[in-house]
Amino acid sequence: MPKPVPCRLSHASAPLFPLLTHLTLALQSYLDEAYVFYEAIRARQYLGGSTSPGTQPELAVLLRRLRYYTRFCVVCMLTGRRGLLLELLGELDQLVHR
């Protein structure tokens, strides 16, 4: 059996750990800000049903709403907000099958 070769990767990559920590904290901060932003849109119902019943909303409005839901779902997945994620997926399902 061959002798194991000493690994110098941890020694060489030691200066990268503070950078990785900083990037992880920056990502978490970005995700928290994104959550607050999307939650405000949801609370204020900016993308709510602004069309009257029986009329077809414009394609651009529907696409905007689909992008909003998919982005908010990704943020909820990455921040561990499972309950809200399930609510959003239900709303997205209703929007798609309308």
Distance (Å, whole) CA 98 – CA 54? 11
Cα–Cα dist 92/86, whole Å: 10
**pLDDT band of 31, cuts 50, 70, 90:** very high
DSSP state of 46: T
pTM of the model: 0.70
Q: What is the pLDDT of residue 72?
A: 95
Burial class of residue 62 in the structure, from the number of CB atoms within 10 Å of its CB (0-12 exposed, 13-18 middle, 19+ buried)? middle
- Predicted pLDDT of residue 54: 57
pLDDT reported for residue 55: 62
Could you read off the pLDDT of 14-26 as tens digits, one per residue?
Answer: 777 777 787 888 8
pLDDT score at 26: 87
Better pLDDT: 86 or 4: 86
